[in-house]
Amino acid sequence: MAAASSIIAIVGSSAAAPAGFDAPVAPEALAAALAKAGFRILVYSSGSGFPESPIVKGYAASPEAREKSIHIRYPLDGTPEFPRAQKQTRLVDPRPDHIQNCETSFYLSLSEVEGILAADVTEPSAVEAKKRP
């Protein structure tokens, strides 16, 4: 089991997903495994093309997810919306940042994490792997 302070940052591509591409189920299963292992997660964006939404969905669906274990970092002028997490508000720990520059806020937040999960759901090889039987 992870230490109580272990946080994994979820990062990935901001490229638009190809037409007809549905985010794979693998990120949800990985997120459930992170919750089961006792890790907290730090997410930044709920926009399409970012891996955070399926990760948050899978994490929030896990019965092992703990209170305040989904940290959401965002500028003061906007809040990402994660529907699955918002249904379970006990899991969410919003972290509005006074820094308006998203990149600066992101890089500064990395001092709070013990690991980074980098995913690119729009990588052509990932799309091809999804299409295989």
Q: Are 42 and 8 in contact (CB under 8 A)?
A: yes
CB neighbours of 66 closer than 8 A, spacing ≥ 6? 35, 38, 40, 91
Rounded to 5°, angle at Cα 2 from 72 and 36: 75
Residue 126 banded pLDDT, cuts 50, 70, 90: very low
70: closest CA among 109, 44, 43? 43
Q: Which residue has the higher pLDDT, 11 or 123?
A: 11
| pLDDT for residue 84 | 65
| pLDDT for residue 41 | 95
| pLDDT for residue 17 | 53
For the full predicted model, state whether its pTM sits above 0.85.
no
Q: Where are the beta strands (DSSP E) in the chain?
A: 7-12, 40-43, 70-75, 92-97, 115-119
Report helix angle 26-36 to 52-61, nearest 10: 50
pLDDT surpassing 60 at residue 85: yes
| pLDDT for residue 69 | 95
2-50 pLDDT per residue, tens: 555 699 999 887 565 555 555 556 778 889 999 999 999 999 888 777 7
Q: Which residue has the higher pLDDT, 2 or 69?
A: 69
DSSP string over 79-96: ----HHHHHSGGGEEEEE
